């Protein structure tokens, strides 16, 4: 529930002063309690009533795998026992980035992504999205207590780039962002949150129309420079092709959006040629954008391969020579199948 929804619910269940809902909201979203009995500034009667009237169910962490670079992959169980994953990535000197899932499985069929092999199971509920962050923060808190650290690690950045197409779960994702950025709760900065999309054009247009694009980052998974190739590796392109997708981005008001990021997964012999680099410059050169070049992260069940280091360097150099701002994303957590495109390999019960 949003703070307003919670206030209306608390008033109907408990009555009493209006500030009571604010106290409960902070217990839930700042203290992250899972038992109404822990809300010590409420009366015993109110705590008993809350315990009977509402659920404080939380996710369960099955495993927390640790990679050689400090990345953690959390295997989580949700409301129905379904398994999904979230990734916690350390940023030396500036907290952690968490990669959030929005679905169990995925509703799309991108050929380079391991999650697609699961198919679509269901959308995650708002609380399941929010609690991914709270579970990770609780994990960091426990580790600080065990090691005697003065301060626990802190999650500062969120990227909706885990399992699922976030904009196919639009209502729950945007509601979760509203909760996570509430100053009375986790208090995360909207400008440190990025939502990724494979190119769901109507939802991208809605994202801009609803005003989210002014603060929340948008990352478009492009991955090809021709419709023929993109149709093959990202079937969503058969419905909204490259021209339609880029048209939606261009129509987003420049003064009402952050710089758009385009993600480009480099696949050997598929989209990494000199001609691809030239076409990418032609497609994106006029846009105020940033490109993340992502060397493909191999996983079982696909014939796709990562280009050689020399091929990656050549592609990136040609794009930069054409005026594009390109960053090569270093794989994080690939030894535990936690890198981009690898989630869900160990997600079966």
Residue positions annotated with a catalytic role: 85, 340
Q: How many residues are given for the chain?
A: 349
Closest CA to 168 of 122, 208, 127, 213: 122
User: Residue 290: enclosing H or E segment and its boundaries?
Assistant: strand 289-295
In this structure, what token pair is assigned to residue 264?
A: 């480009």
Q: Which residues contact 153 (CB under 8 A, 6 or more apart)?
A: 90, 95, 96, 140, 143, 144
Residue 22, classified by CB atoms within 10 Å of its CB into exposed (0-12), middle (13-18) or buried (19+), is middle
Could you list the beta-strand ranges (E) of 67-212. Answer: 72-77, 83-90, 96-99, 103-105, 120-123, 155-160, 193-197
With a CB cutoff of 8 Å and minimum separation 6, the contacts of 230 are 222, 223, 224, 237, 241, 242
State how far the alpha carbon of 253 is from the alpha carbons of 188, 190, 203, 261, in Å.
25, 18, 16, 15
Asked if 224 and 234 touch (Cβ cutoff 8 Å), the reply is yes
Distance, CA of 160 to CA of 102 (rounded, Å): 7
The DSSP call for residue 169 is G
The count of other CB atoms within 10 Å of the CB of residue 292 is 18
Asked if 163 and 108 count as a contact pair (C-beta separation under 8 A), the reply is no
Could you tell me whether strands 120-123 and 103-105 are parallel, antiparallel, or unpaired per DSSP bridges? antiparallel
Coil, helix or strand at residue 345: coil
| Rounded CA separation 334/98 (Å) | 15
């Amino acid at each position: 529930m949003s703070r307003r929804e919670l206030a209306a619910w608390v008033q109907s269940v408990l009555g009493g002063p209006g500030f009571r809902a604010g106290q409960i909201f902070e217990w839930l979203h700042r203290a992250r309690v899972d038992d109404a009995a822990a809300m010590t500034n409420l009366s015993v009667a109110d705590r008993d009533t809350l315990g009977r009237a509402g659920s404080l169910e939380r996710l369960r962490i099955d495993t927390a795998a640790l990679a050689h670079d400090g990345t953690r992959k959390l295997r989580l169980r949700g409301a129905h026992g379904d398994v999904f994953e979230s990734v916690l990535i350390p940023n030396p000197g500036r907290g952690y980035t968490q990669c959030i899932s929005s679905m169990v499985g995925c509703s799309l069929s991108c050929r380079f992504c391991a999650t697609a092999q699961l198919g679509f199971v269901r959308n995650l509920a708002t609380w399941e999205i929010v609690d991914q962050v709270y579970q990770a923060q609780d994990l960091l808190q426990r580790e600080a207590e065990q090691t005697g650290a003065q301060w626990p690690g802190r999650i500062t950045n969120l990227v909706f780039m885990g399992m699922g197409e976030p904009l196919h779960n639009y209502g729950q994702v945007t509601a979760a962002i509203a909760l996570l950025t509430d100053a009375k709760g986790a208090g995360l900065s909207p400008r440190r949150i990025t939502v990724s999309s494979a190119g769901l054009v109507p939802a991208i247009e809605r994202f801009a129309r609803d005003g989210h694009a002014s603060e929340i980052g948008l990352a478009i998974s492009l991955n090809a420079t021709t419709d023929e190739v993109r149709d093959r590796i990202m079937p969503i392109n058969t419905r909204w092709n490259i021209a339609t997708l880029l048209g939606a981005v261009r129509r987003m008001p420049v003064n009402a959006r952050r710089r758009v990021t385009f993600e480009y997964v480099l696949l050997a012999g598929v989209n990494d040629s000199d001609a691809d680099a030239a076409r990418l410059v032609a497609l994106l050169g006029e846009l105020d954008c940033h490109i993340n070049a992502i060397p493909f992260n191999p996983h079982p069940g696909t014939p796709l391969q990562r280009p050689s280091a020399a091929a990656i360097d050549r592609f990136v150099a040609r794009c930069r020579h054409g005026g594009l701002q390109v960053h090569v994303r270093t794989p994080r957590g690939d030894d535990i199948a936690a890198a981009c495109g690898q989630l869900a390999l160990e997600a079966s019960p």
